[in-house]
């Protein structure tokens, strides 16, 4: 089943059951506590909190999501992307657990024709009701597992709504990992759909521990998320998210540029996936008004671009990689997401400028990094100094995460505490000198602003309006 049909099957199913089809919100959220949209429920937060009454009690969306927290998983698991489309259905004080479970089961087993025997369910450890509902629908007890707070409990802010969740997982078979169900192995038993049952008001306390629940919410709500990429991988019978129709044309572009075939050896496989997957995130972020910068969401974008460039070089691609790969994303997904086409010239120019500036220093920086790795090993140490990481950051524009990744590939760690100290010292110096930005940074920022202005963006939100909480993302 092609992704176009997967999307329409989802939306048709829920619109014919009384859900209002609502467009995706942009990746730059209107919620100031959030760095980037990362779930379908983000745009409905005021409805769930009861601050605003929606015109419709049920909604369905396909939401653009960015999850930088999954960046290191790309290429290392088969199921994580930094950008993905999340299909969701929502009830604002309307239907609850029983219907949410029945809808999910019907759509998966009839709409998408997934084999029932391959579906495994997790429920929150105390949630007898959810387990009973799944059993009544026909799931055998030995394919329902209970998980704790960490995996199967959802909450948002304090005070705020919270409640247990229940997840549907698909058994991809022994080729993907060990037995034991989703509680044991997330690669073989891939999570596809999360159903959140918002029911309680959360009080003070630690998110990961047991936290006090103040009582029932005025209205009980449903929030769900089904990952399009993961479902496409299953329905198209492919091993990972980069070989679905969503990303395959881009993977092909990477193969052409590299002059070699996917997957190659295990390191090349990771690099192929990183370049392919990041190209999509980069195109979508720029289309929604994110521009590269030193912090906030601009830094997320820069980090994705620099990581993709580094992995392209590892594949032997010496010339530009981002213009061709992002162009292939636009070609493949531009019909579904027209903002890609509207902003295609901006995307092209931003990636070309960033790649040019990073390439200038990448070779020298890589040489320095390789030498430092050799030195570290020769000295019998397993940790690269924070001073080296800082020099790479400061002189060569290497995001520290890149240094950490390269060191990890060589079996080393990085003294990140020392790096942090040096970075803080430098920031203090810059502040007291009244010059927080270097001439180079300013010049580059002006270039991007100019590009953006030329392409008629009016909704650029700036780099600075972000909270510390959001940056943790």
Q: At a CB cut-off of 8 Å and minimum separation 6, what does 295 contact?
A: 463, 464, 466, 471
127 binds, among Mg ion, ligand ATP, none (CB under 5 to 8 A by kind): none
**Distance of closest approach, residue 370 Cβ to ligand ATP, in angstroms:** 31
Q: Give the C-alpha separation, 379 to 227, whole Å.
A: 47
Burial (Cβ within 10 Å: 0-12, 13-18, ≥19) of residue 263: middle
Q: Which residues bind ligand ATP (CB under 6 A)?
A: 67, 70, 79-81, 84, 86, 186, 191-194, 225-227, 229-230
225 binds, among Mg ion, ligand ATP, none (CB under 5 to 8 A by kind): ligand ATP
Residues contacting Mg ion: total by CB under 5 A: 2
80 binds, among ligand ATP, Mg ion, none (CB under 5 to 8 A by kind): ligand ATP
Closer residue to ligand ATP, CB minimum distance, 86 or 317: 86
Closer residue to ligand ATP, CB minimum distance, 227 or 397: 227
The H or E element that residue 384 is part of is strand 383-384
Of all residues in this chain, which one has the CB nearest to Mg ion in the complex? 194
3-state secondary structure 160-209: EEEEEEEEEEEECCHHHCCCCCCCCCCCCEEEEEEEEEEEEEECCCCCCC
Closer residue to ligand ATP, CB minimum distance, 70 or 354: 70
**Distance of closest approach, residue 106 Cβ to ligand ATP, in angstroms:** 18
**Distance of closest approach, residue 436 Cβ to ligand ATP, in angstroms:** 33
Inter-helix orientation angle 3-15/228-235, to 10°:
120
Q: Give the C-alpha separation, 244 to 2, whole Å.
A: 9
Closer residue to Mg ion, CB minimum distance, 194 or 240: 194
162 binds, among Mg ion, ligand ATP, none (CB under 5 to 8 A by kind): none
Q: Give the C-alpha separation, 467 to 472, whole Å.
A: 9
Closer residue to Mg ion, CB minimum distance, 70 or 94: 70
Indicate the SS3 state at residue 18: coil
Closer residue to Mg ion, CB minimum distance, 70 or 288: 70
Closer residue to ligand ATP, CB minimum distance, 160 or 186: 186
**Distance of closest approach, residue 313 Cβ to ligand ATP, in angstroms:** 25
Of all residues in this chain, which one has the CB nearest to ligand ATP in the complex? 227
Burial (Cβ within 10 Å: 0-12, 13-18, ≥19) of residue 87: buried
Q: Give the C-alpha separation, 48 to 50, whole Å.
A: 5
227 binds, among ligand ATP, Mg ion, none (CB under 5 to 8 A by kind): ligand ATP
229 binds, among Mg ion, ligand ATP, none (CB under 5 to 8 A by kind): ligand ATP
Residues 431, 262 contacting (CB under 8 angstroms): no
Closer residue to Mg ion, CB minimum distance, 71 or 340: 71
Closer residue to ligand ATP, CB minimum distance, 99 or 191: 191
Long-range residue pairs from 202-209, CB within 8 A, at least 24 positions apart, any chain: 202/155, 202/157, 202/158, 202/159, 202/160, 202/161, 202/162, 203/158, 203/159, 204/158, 205/158, 207/155, 208/149, 208/150, 209/149
**Distance of closest approach, residue 224 Cβ to ligand ATP, in angstroms:** 8
192 binds, among Mg ion, ligand ATP, none (CB under 5 to 8 A by kind): ligand ATP
67 binds, among Mg ion, ligand ATP, none (CB under 5 to 8 A by kind): ligand ATP
Two tokens, residue 168: 């549907």
Burial (Cβ within 10 Å: 0-12, 13-18, ≥19) of residue 7: middle
**Distance of closest approach, residue 379 Cβ to ligand ATP, in angstroms:** 38
**Distance of closest approach, residue 73 Cβ to Mg ion, in angstroms:** 8
**Distance of closest approach, residue 242 Cβ to ligand ATP, in angstroms:** 11
Q: Give the C-alpha separation, 163 to 423, whole Å.
A: 40
**Distance of closest approach, residue 22 Cβ to ligand ATP, in angstroms:** 17
Question: Does the protein bind Mg ion through residue 78 (CB under 5 A)?
Answer: no
**Distance of closest approach, residue 190 Cβ to ligand ATP, in angstroms:** 7
**Distance of closest approach, residue 226 Cβ to ligand ATP, in angstroms:** 6
Q: Give the C-alpha separation, 180 to 182, whole Å.
A: 7
Closer residue to ligand ATP, CB minimum distance, 86 or 404: 86
C-alpha triplet 75, 80, 82: angle, nearest 5°: 95
Closer residue to Mg ion, CB minimum distance, 152 or 366: 152
Q: Give the C-alpha separation, 359 to 374, whole Å.
A: 23
303 binds, among Mg ion, ligand ATP, none (CB under 5 to 8 A by kind): none
What residues from 178 to 217 belong to the interface with Mg ion (CB under 5 A)?
A: 191, 194
Residues 115, 151 contacting (CB under 8 angstroms): no
Report CA 273 to chain centroid distance, whole Å: 14
- Give the footprint of Mg ion on this chain (CB under 5 A): 191, 194
């Amino acid at each position: 089943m092609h992704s176009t049909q997967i999307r329409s099957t989802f939306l048709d199913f829920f619109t014919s059951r009384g859900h209002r089809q609502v467009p995706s919100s942009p990746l730059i959220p209107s919620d100031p506590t959030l760095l980037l949209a990362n779930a379908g429920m983000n745009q409905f937060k005021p409805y769930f909190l009861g601050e605003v009454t929606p015109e419709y009690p049920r909604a369905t969306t396909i939401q653009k999501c960015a999850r930088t927290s999954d960046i290191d998983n790309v290429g290392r698991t088969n199921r994580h992307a930094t950008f993905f489309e999340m299909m969701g259905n929502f009830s604002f004080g309307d239907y609850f657990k029983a219907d949410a479970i029945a809808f999910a089961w019907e759509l998966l087993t009839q709409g998408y024709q997934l084999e029932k025997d391959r579906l495994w369910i997790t429920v929150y450890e105390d949630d007898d009701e959810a387990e009973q509902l799944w059993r009544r629908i026909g799931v055998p007890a030995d394919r329902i597992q209970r998980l704790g707070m960490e995996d199967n409990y959802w909450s948002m802010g304090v005070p705020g709504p919270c409640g247990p969740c229940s997840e549907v997982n698909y058994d991809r078979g022994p080729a993907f990992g060990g037995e034991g169900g989703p509680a044991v192995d997330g690669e073989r038993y891939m999570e596809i759909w999360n159903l959140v049952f918002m029911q309680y008001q959360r009080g003070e306390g630690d998110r990961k521990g047991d936290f006090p629940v103040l009582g029932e919410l005025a209205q009980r709500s449903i929030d769900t998320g089904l990952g399009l990429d993961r479902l496409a991988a299953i329905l198209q019978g492919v091993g990972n998210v980069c070989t679905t129709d969503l990303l395959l044309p881009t993977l092909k572009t990477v193969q052409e540029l590299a002059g070699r075939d996917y997957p190659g050896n295990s390191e090349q496989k990771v690099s192929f996936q990183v370049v392919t997957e990041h190209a999509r995130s980069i195109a979508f972020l720029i289309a929604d008004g994110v521009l590269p910068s030193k912090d906030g969401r601009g830094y997320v974008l820069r980090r994705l671009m620099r990581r993709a460039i580094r992995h392209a070089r590892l594949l032997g691609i010496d010339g530009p990689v981002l213009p061709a790969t992002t162009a292939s994303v636009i070609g493949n997904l531009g019909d579904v997401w027209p903002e890609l086409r509207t902003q295609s010239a901006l995307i092209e120019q931003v990636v070309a400028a960033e790649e040019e500036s990073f390439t200038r220093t990448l070779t020298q920086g890589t040489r320095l990094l390789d030498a430092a790795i050799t030195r570290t090993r020769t000295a019998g140490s397993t940790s690269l100094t924070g001073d080296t990481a800082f020099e790479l950051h400061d002189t060569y524009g290497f995001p520290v995460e890149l240094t950490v990744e390269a060191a990890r590939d060589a079996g080393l760690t990085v003294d990140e505490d020392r790096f942090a100290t040096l970075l803080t010292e430098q920031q203090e110096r810059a502040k007291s000198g009244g010059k927080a930005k270097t001439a180079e940074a300013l010049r580059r920022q002006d270039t991007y602003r100019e590009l953006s202005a030329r392409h008629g963006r009016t909704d650029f939100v700036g780099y600075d309006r972000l909270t510390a909480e959001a940056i943790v993302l």
